[in-house]
Amino acid sequence: MHNFRWPDRNRLRNRRLLLVCCCALMLASCRSAQVDELPSTQPYVQAATAIEYPDLETPIESPARGTVRPVTLSSAAPDEYWDIHLEEVLHVALEHSKIFRDAGGVILRSPGNSRTHLDPAIQETDPRFGPQAALSAFDATFAASLFYENNDRALNNVFFGGGTRELVQKSGV
């Protein structure tokens, strides 16, 4: 005969407590928070569809103000040309560069770490990640293909040649 032992009272109480906790957890997790009203999308729609008008009244920065208009076909020829070597051009450009002057030569070791007022424009015109890259997915594309084949063969067997010994075929698709 088997000896039957009743479980300890502490063990039985622990099992009941575990069962009550599991039931309470299951009932609490079955409830879902119902949202009666979705948040308004009106501010996002207004921001996305707002038209940006250029600020034409803002004065232009002083370095850009002194530049001359580019030469076009309708404008007159430029006043003078300079006969200058590439080394002299680089020397003058580095001598008058504000970024190079402020960085003290550090820009040559890490040019990507230098920040200028042109950074937003550079990011805006990035051909891989800027807005123009996203818009280029909708650019019109043109594709064409031509497959041409010219077969001129002598066959060894009349049976496999379909009653002839020469195959002359020109096809274009």
Half-sphere exposure in the Cβ direction for 49 (13 Å, CA): 6
pLDDT bucket at 136, cuts 50 / 70 / 90: confident
Contacts 24+ apart (CB under 8 A), 148-155: 148/172, 148/173
| Coil/strand/helix, residue 7 | coil
Half-sphere exposure in the Cβ direction for 45 (13 Å, CA): 4
pLDDT (tens digit per residue) in 1-53: 566 566 677 777 888 888 888 888 777 765 555 556 767 788 888 888 888 88
Q: Can you give the pLDDT at residue 87? A: 92
Average pLDDT score over residue span 79-107: 76
Say if residues 161 and 167 touch (Cβ distance below 8 Å).
yes
Q: Can you give the pLDDT at residue 47? A: 83
**Higher confidence at residue 140 or residue 8?**
140
pLDDT (tens digit per residue) in 119-129: 888 888 888 88
pLDDT bucket at 86, cuts 50 / 70 / 90: very high
Model-level pTM? 0.27
Would you give the distance in Å from CA 61 to the centre of its chain?
A: 31
Backbone dihedral angles phi then psi of residue 159, each to the nearest 5 degrees? -65, -50
